[in-house]
Copies of this chain bind each other. A is one copy, B any other.
């Protein structure tokens, strides 16, 4: 696939007083400026947002509403939803449009505002990323009850997976906390991160319990934010003198049945396998990874699903220091969802932004030395015993 990411921009992730329009405008403006392009250069836009309809009532033409004030009118605008993987799906579509020869320069935007004066709305909206008619059986699967139908089941589901993972691999509570401490530490080096602090394993374990074994610091926060990238065909990049990492692979799958413990049969596992094959690269070729640590134990599971660690050896990887700042394969140098924040529809593009900055040597204090190959993994929703969406992108540094 001859697609390059020639511009990246994002807001700081935070609980914000700013509107979704303001957040989107900042990200789009920054991405275009980074590319050295203007609104007039954009030929199509793919916009990921997951919950604006439920949080603010703005449904159906969300992208047009965000882009029109910037003068981005007339072009094809595709509004895409795929839960927490909405904006990586937008990137997948943008790559496909360029591969089809339909466009040379496209904008991919992820934007989300989870905070609202009615605090229950954001959490209730997140809870719709399941088959609502299957809510009762999912609650049973997660070992919880249905006392509050406006409550998201996701932390219950993540807690349930964490318990199963600990049983299968021998991961300890300390291992879970090590992930959270690593990503909090990484967040201290990212000016766009919502959080970041030097917490100890003990402090992570001592934080307020959400659902055992998850404590507050093991769960991604409620965030607002936006992130945008500009994609260009190889041809346009040459013609216009644009540079940026190459998209070596863009894989999207939906979840489906797989055997217990079959780490490569999950949505993330299958998306990664497809992406490695498409890129002609493997986990040993990676220099930096951004993955979907919606909770701390999810990162351990994902080490195995992305084949960064053999099945059952996720805990060894976090204990080794290899995935820490300064290690051989830093994972979530941005702080990840846990510290950078998780404005769900914006997360996928934000991961790509981090890879762009890492692969172009512009990641400041968190720069991964000599980073040439990066992988971003984004997950969304829940269906049929798996995440509903798995998306994996592999980017390689420009020659």
A→B interface (CB under 8 Å)? 21, 50-51, 53-54, 56-62, 64-65, 67-68, 73-83, 86, 89, 92-93, 96-97, 99-102, 125, 128-133, 252-257, 270, 380-381, 383-384, 388-389
List the B residue with the shortest CB-CB distance to A274.
B76
A76 contacts which chain B residues (CB < 8 A)?
92, 252-254
Evaluate contact between B51 and A54: CB separation under 8 angstroms.
no
In the complex, what distance in Å separates the CA atom of A62 from the CA atom of B128? 10
Evaluate contact between B60 and A51: CB separation under 8 angstroms.
yes
Evaluate contact between A255 and B64: CB separation under 8 angstroms.
yes
In the complex, what distance in Å separates the CA atom of A54 from the CA atom of B89? 22
Query: Which of B59, B125, B253 is in CB contact (< 8 Å) with A81?
Result: B59
Evaluate contact between B254 and A65: CB separation under 8 angstroms.
no
Evaluate contact between A128 and B383: CB separation under 8 angstroms.
no
Beyond A74-B253, A77-B388, list 12 extra A-B contacts (CB 8 Å): A54-B54, A60-B129, A61-B380, A64-B383, A64-B388, A73-B257, A76-B92, A77-B389, A79-B80, A79-B82, A96-B97, A96-B100
A80 contacts which chain B residues (CB < 8 A)?
78-81
Beyond A59-B51, A80-B78, A89-B78, is A73–B128 a contact (Cβ under 8 Å)? no
In the complex, what distance in Å separates the CA atom of A59 from the CA atom of B132? 9
15 A-B pairs in the complex with CB atoms less than 8 angstroms apart: A50-B59, A51-B59, A58-B131, A59-B128, A59-B129, A61-B82, A61-B130, A61-B381, A64-B389, A65-B131, A76-B253, A77-B254, A78-B80, A78-B82, A99-B100
Evaluate contact between B68 and A60: CB separation under 8 angstroms.
no
* A interface, over-half SS: mixed
In the complex, what distance in Å separates the CA atom of A77 from the CA atom of B381? 12
A384 contacts which chain B residues (CB < 8 A)?
68, 73
A203 to chain B, nearest CB (A): 33
A73 contacts which chain B residues (CB < 8 A)?
254-257, 383-384
List the B residue with the shortest CB-CB distance to A131.
B65
- Copy count, this protein chain: 2
Query: Which of B60, B78, B125, B128 is in CB contact (< 8 Å) with A50?
Result: B60
In the complex, what distance in Å separates the CA atom of A142 from the CA atom of B101? 40
Evaluate contact between A254 and B75: CB separation under 8 angstroms.
yes
In the complex, what distance in Å separates the CA atom of A51 from the CA atom of B50? 13
A255 contacts which chain B residues (CB < 8 A)?
64, 73-74
Beyond A53-B54, A257-B73, is A81–B60 a contact (Cβ under 8 Å)? yes
List the B residue with the shortest CB-CB distance to A381.
B61
List the B residue with the shortest CB-CB distance to A50.
B60
User: 7 tightest CB-CB pairs across the interface, nearest first?
Assistant: A73-B256, A99-B100, A100-B100, A61-B381, A74-B256, A60-B83, A59-B128
A380 contacts which chain B residues (CB < 8 A)?
60-61
List the B residue with the shortest CB-CB distance to A84.
B60
Evaluate contact between B132 and A58: CB separation under 8 angstroms.
yes
Evaluate contact between B254 and A74: CB separation under 8 angstroms.
yes
Evaluate contact between A59 and B252: CB separation under 8 angstroms.
no
In the complex, what distance in Å separates the CA atom of A302 from the CA atom of B92? 34
Query: Which of B74, B89, B270 is in CB contact (< 8 Å) with A270?
Result: B74
Beyond A53-B59, A257-B73, A389-B61, is A81–B79 a contact (Cβ under 8 Å)? yes
List the B residue with the shortest CB-CB distance to A103.
B96
A67 contacts which chain B residues (CB < 8 A)?
254
A253 contacts which chain B residues (CB < 8 A)?
74-76
Residue of A57, A125, A255 most packed against chain B (CB within 10 A)? A57
A81 contacts which chain B residues (CB < 8 A)?
59-62, 79-81
